[in-house]
Amino acid sequence: MKRDASIALVLFALVALLPLSGEAYWMRLGTTMLMYGVLAMSWNFIGGMAGYPSFAVAAFFGLGAYAGAVAQKFGVPMGFAWVGAGLLALVFAALLGVALLRLRGHYFAIASLVVAEVLRELVNSMTGLTGGGMGLNLPIPAMASVDAQARFFFYVMLLLAAVTFTAMLITANSKLGFGLRCIQQNESAADMLGVDTTFYKVSAFMLSGVFVGVAGAVYASWVYYIEPPDVFDVLYSVKAIVMVLLGGAGSMFGPLVGAAAFLSLEELVWRNYLEVHTGVLGLMIVLLVLFLPKGLISLSQRLGRRGKLR
Amino acid sequence: MPLLYFQILANGLVLGGLYACIASGFSLVWGVQNVINILHGSFIVLGAYLAYFAHLHAGIHPFLSILIAIPVFFAIGYGLQRMMINRIIAAPVLLTLTLTFGLDLMLQNGMIMAFTADFKKLVLDPPLGTIALGEVVLPVDRLAAMALALALTAMLYLILSRSRIGRAIVAVRMDREAAALMGVNVARIYAITFGLGVMMAGASGPLLAMIFPISPLGGPAYLGKAFVICVLGGLGSVPGAMIGGLVLGVVESFGALWFGPEHAVTLSFSLLILMLLFRPHGLLGRKGYE
């Protein structure tokens, strides 16, 4: 645990130096990468540790984005709106978890996938509160310059990613993390041996919701304008899963490695092949699942072992 | 008012027959292999494009293009399972789900590039007109599409219950190991099952093209309906898909009347979540083999 914590400290400190580059492009990429990291690490609580194939990331993200935006519309200061959005996502995850976590396998996957669709339709139809399909504009934070704004949101995302990582590190080394790994291996046996599976699963689901909710709210403030198909996009759920798979599920740095690797690939494809970018994303997913199902981290182990044999 | 209700009920049943056809193949694959085929919706759309272009360029009636769709889509499904899905069939559900999702992104992107993102509508000339059953009026094209959908679904039922291969599929579904010990080639049966599932998707495409506009991104909506129907009717049984499809069609029609058509998705997905929580084995209540 200490080793992981010190590696993480160095890593986050290095990332914090990024604004020195002074390039707006790198700032935007860095902020997106940190946001992706938050989504991937959050998914890791329920998907990586407990082994439940959750597609609820998009639901938490959209909920957080709209909660933060609507709160600011009514004059709540930005910081409070973000925290409030996180708390709302936490409560929502608790209620949803109690209902849905009784399902297993595909049934749970679909039920969690559907939640984002239902929320999107509801937000779409509540035009008075959320602007409906027209979307919602957010107040632009009063800051000296555009660069200062970019730096501000970068550091906010960095802080959020650090908090999420800390939560993940503490969870993985606690009784909760142990119980979740038991549930992943054999839920019925864990239940029989006295692990309170419902409590553990709901706790993991809440952890997987709260930081995504905050990330959604910060994202909304960062881009000033949100609309339902943008923030309730099922691709957020899929990307979180792909990033964790890419990095290596269940490992401490897997989600972060996956987020960085995924964003690099996505950015390359976006920049060079805009027309076919969803197709290339799909191809990446297919190749990843077929040839590298244990992630990039397993690659280094595999190469290492092969090296020793020679 | 009761007359209106009869009309709505009739509309719902016609729609439901088509839904049954959409869902039966999806339910088969899910029930037999425990694989959710995210591609199912996009294959329906691809089938609809097949009918559209066959009608536009060769003047083939959409009902006849089903005969082209059946072998083509069976082959696609068979090959897909043989080359890709069989390789990870034993992996956790998350991986098969993610794989078909990736393939779906590729197919959607390909369809946008090939057919453009514009909506297309297959228009028959001359139109088939309407038919009046007492006071209830129904368009003939919808009625015929429903009849063909039910015929296709019945065909799948007969294949599963009467043919040798169908019995092998059911055997694999009940107990894969035991079936393998009895000499069933499980990998081949999986490929045939997936082929049949994709075939049902592709064959229902031309039927839907008669009624709805075609869009390359229309797949997920059909997929969502297939999910709901499977959960309503229970997994892997053709009669279950039939019941689930008819129920969903009727619920959607009355929902549109009472709550407004913009809430159709919310309504059917709320129904899905309630069903999952209270009747996870479907309305028929028969426990599946999983």
Interface of A with B in 212-251 (CB under 8 A): 238, 241-242, 245
A112: closest CA of chain B, how far (Å): 9
pLDDT at A305 over 80: no
Q: Name every residue whose Cβ is closer than 8 Å to that of residue B200 and which is 6 or more positions away in sequence.
A: B21, B22, B24, B25, B26, B28, B152, B153, B156
pLDDT, position A101: 87
Q: Which two tokens stand for residue A286?
A: 């297919």
Write out pLDDT tens, residues A97-126: 988 888 877 888 888 888 888 898 889 888
Contact A278 B108 (CB under 8 A): yes
Question: Higher pLDDT residue, B278 or A59?
Answer: A59
pLDDT, one tens digit per residue, over B112-137 is 999 988 898 888 877 777 888 777 88
Using CB atoms, which residue from B36, B104, B266 is nearest to A106?
Answer: B36
pLDDT in tens, B253-265: 888 888 877 777 7
User: Does pLDDT of B103 surpass 90?
Assistant: yes
Task: Name chain A contacts of B40, Cβ cutoff 8 Å.
Answer: none
Q: How confident is the model at residue B24 (pLDDT cuts 50, 70, 90)?
A: very high
| Confidence check: pLDDT of B283 > 70 | no
**Residue in chain A nearest B103 by alpha carbon:** A282
Mutate to test the interface with A, among B35, B96, B97, B270 (most CBs of A within 10 A): B97
Residue B287 clears pLDDT 60, i.e. is over it: no
Q: Do the chains contact at B93 and A106, CB–CB below 8 Å?
A: yes
What residue in B sits closest to A238 (Cα-Cα)? B98
ipTM of the complex: 0.82
Tell me what pLDDT residue A200 has.
Answer: 93
Q: Which of B107, B109, B266 sits opposite A121 (nearest CB)?
A: B266
Return the residue of A nearest to B281 by Cα.
A107
Q: What is the pLDDT of residue B288?
A: 43
Give the pLDDT of residue A212: 96
pLDDT at residue B289 greater than cutoff 60: no
Contact between B84 and A286 using a beta-carbon 8 Å cutoff: yes
Does pLDDT of B27 surpass 60?
yes
Predicted confidence (pLDDT) at residue A307 exceeds the cutoff of 50 = no
- pLDDT at position A303, please? 58
Across B26-32, average pLDDT: 89
B106 chain-A contacts, CB cut-off 8 A: 278-279, 282-283, 286
Contact B105 A282 (CB under 8 A): yes
Lowest mean pLDDT among A5-19, A155-169, A216-230, B13-27: A5-19
Q: For residue range A242-274, list pLDDT tens digits in order.
A: 899 888 877 788 899 889 988 988 888 877 887
Record: contact A285-B102, CB cut-off 8 A: yes
Nearest chain B alpha carbon to A237 = B98
CB contact under 8 A, A289 and B273: no
Nearest to A229 by CA among A66, A5, A111: A66
CA distances to A49, A281, B39 from A293, rounded to whole Å, are 16, 16, 20
Amino acid identity of B170? V
Report which listed range, A29-43, A116-130, B79-93, is most confident: A29-43
Q: Which domains does chain A have, with CATH numbers?
A: 2-309 (1.10.3470)
Q: What is the pLDDT of residue B137?
A: 83
Residues of chain A with Cβ-Cβ distance to B99 below 8 Å are: 285-286, 289-290
**A14, exposed or middle or buried, with CB in 10 Å at 0-12, 13-18, 19+?**
exposed
pLDDT of amino acid B239: 87
Map out the domains of chain B with their CATH numbers. 2-278 (1.10.3470)
Q: How far apart are CA A56 and CA A35, in angstroms?
A: 16
Choose among B98, B104, B263: nearest Cβ to A289: B98
- For the segment A268-281, the average pLDDT, to the nearest whole number, is 82
pLDDT at B67: 93
- Please report the pLDDT score of residue B290 as a whole number: 32
CA-to-CA distance for A219 and A65, rounded, in angstroms? 7
Q: What letter does residue B86 receive in the DSSP assignment? A: G
What mean pLDDT do residues B17-38 have? 90
Q: What is the pLDDT of residue A302?
A: 60
Residue B128: half-sphere exposure toward Cβ, Cα within 13 Å: 17
Tokens of A294: 């244990």
- Average pLDDT value for chain B: 87
